[in-house]
Amino acid sequence: MKPNDDNGKLPVAERPFRVLIIAGSDRRQYNCPGVDGKARSLALRMAERLPQDWELDVEDLGNVFGRARIQSCNACVSTSMALCVWPCNCYEAANKDEPDLMWDLDLYARLDLADAWAIIGPVNWYAPSSNLKLMFDRLVCMNGGNPREELIGHKNAELAMKLEHADEWASLHRNHLEGRTAGFFSYGDGGGDEIDETGRPRILRHPQYFDPGHEPFESERDAYRPIVWQCRYSGIEVPDDLWVHVQFGDGKKYSDNQAEDMVREPRVMESFDAWTDGFSRFVARKGKVEPGEFRAYGYTAPSHRLADLKAKWRELRMGVGLPPAGSSPARQHALGLNDDATLTPREGEGEKRR
């Protein structure tokens, strides 16, 4: 059935089971690739195959011209875990300065509403697609993020560092989406027709630079290992048999390995359908998941205009070499570590050297 977000207000026993299916290819026919990625076709196929009395939410992360993209993680957690807010407050919906697809598509709430996630995507250069990686980077906050931004004045690094050492932090620091299940189905083409008999690209002019026998993985399934283990560390269950990779299109030109070609590959489609059926059986047995104490669903971000003014004043003072007394930037400034006092922080380091 179609997803009804209002069901998130119901007791768990009264709402339908819910799955979020993510198509993780960067390609959409409404941008320069001109063709939809295979992940979209597979996601729609999965939605047709899963039980129709479940709420089946589907999202395509492909790049659409003129639409916001998923902004990168700012790595607040490396300053302090308490500075990383759940759900992410580095960005917000409908923001013109830094438009963000995670918020515009309400993905934090939709991930929260779902009992299980099905992630489908390609392997690009020994890794998940850029958009899938960005989405999971932005989910660092589900793994222990601060659910009470008012305690740190929205984005005050010094207050966050202090909170991280306070007794109160233990009651806030938790895996906010723990208990859910995630399944991963990835696919790759082994380099298509670009690889020669030695395992090197045909157009390579310096084959002596590397040994293809030392490729990063024995199996390209491992390209998704970082996000699988991110889920596991965050309390999201990823059974090994729901983490599947299929390779097809070896030796073919990329233009001959589109979704319409994929569906004529019985081995590929049988593998995908078996993964879908296994996912369905597993999550049905496991059942619905109780929501966490601090939910992304129904969350309304507090106003932060005053906090923004304070942050701007802090930025201006640091720009003239006056960081907050006793702060990490002050200590770095005193030690001459980063040479980052500037009133034009948007200027690239390369520009300064020219």
Residues 308 and 246 in one domain: no
pLDDT tens, position by position, 47-90: 999 999 999 999 999 999 999 999 999 999 999 999 999 999 99
pTM: 0.95
Domain co-membership, 339 together with 297:
no
Residue 87, preceding bond cis, omega within 30 degrees? yes
Do residues 158 and 96 both lie within one domain? yes
Q: Over pLDDT 70: what percentage of the chain?
A: 100
pLDDT 10s digits, 282-331? 999 999 999 999 999 999 988 899 999 999 999 999 999 999 999 999 99
Query: Residue 143 is which amino acid?
Result: N
- Whole-angstrom distance, CA of residue 101 vs CA of residue 130: 13
Phi-psi region of 333 (alpha: psi -120 to 50; beta: other; left: phi over 0): alpha
Q: What is the DSSP letter of 35?
A: S
Would you state the pLDDT for residue 39?
98
In DSSP notation, 93-125 reads TT-SSS--HHHHTTHHHHHHH-SEEEEEEEB-S
Please check whether residues 49 and 140 belong to one and the same domain.
yes
Q: How would residue 160 be classed by pLDDT, with cut points 50, 70 and 90?
A: very high
Q: Residue 260 is part of a domain; what is its CATH number?
A: 3.40.50.360
Residue span of the structural domain in which 321 resides: 304-354
pLDDT at 29 over 90: yes
Cβ atoms 125, 26 nearer than 8 A = no
Q: Is 338 found in the same domain as 233?
A: no
Q: Are residues 162 and 124 in the same domain?
A: yes
State the pLDDT at residue 353. Answer: 87
Give how many domains the chain has, as a whole number: 2
